[in-house]
Amino acid sequence: MERLLHAKAHGVRVIGSSTLALCHLASGAADAYYQFGLHCWDLAAATVIIREAGGIVIDTSGGPLDLMACRVVAASTREMAMLIAQALQTINYGRDDEK
């Protein structure tokens, strides 16, 4: 989080709801979002909505999104998503398909 706070940003919001935060991104009210520990049911519909709105959804490693990996970076542009992914240290919460 500290590395991301040094990036040029207007502000950082933590609203307490991953679904609402992802919908804010899709609507253009936010530029980016990342989270560890989300489950596939938290991400599946939001991923479709964000992609249909023109956003990007990737894994925190910078690779393609793996819905079962319980981690996500979503952003309005690929450049912003990669900037965030590169600043993160990936945390492994396990996989939804291994529980």
Q: pLDDT in tens for each of the 99 residues of the chain?
A: 666 666 666 666 677 788 889 999 999 999 999 999 999 998 999 999 999 999 999 999 999 999 999 999 999 999 999 999 998 888 888 999 996
* CA 35, chain centre distance (Å): 6
Identity at 70, one-letter amino acid code: C
- Residue 35 has a pLDDT of 92
* For the chain, counts of helices (H) and of strands (E): 4, 3
Question: What is the structure's pLDDT at 17?
Answer: 86
DSSP E strands in 1-99: the ranges are 32-36, 56-58, 71-75
Q: How many CA atoms lie within 13 A of 48 on its CB side?
A: 5
What was the pLDDT predicted at 14? 73
Name the CATH topology of 16-85: D-Maltodextrin-Binding Protein; domain 2 (3.40.190)
Residue 96 in marked binding region: no
pTM for this predicted structure: 0.86
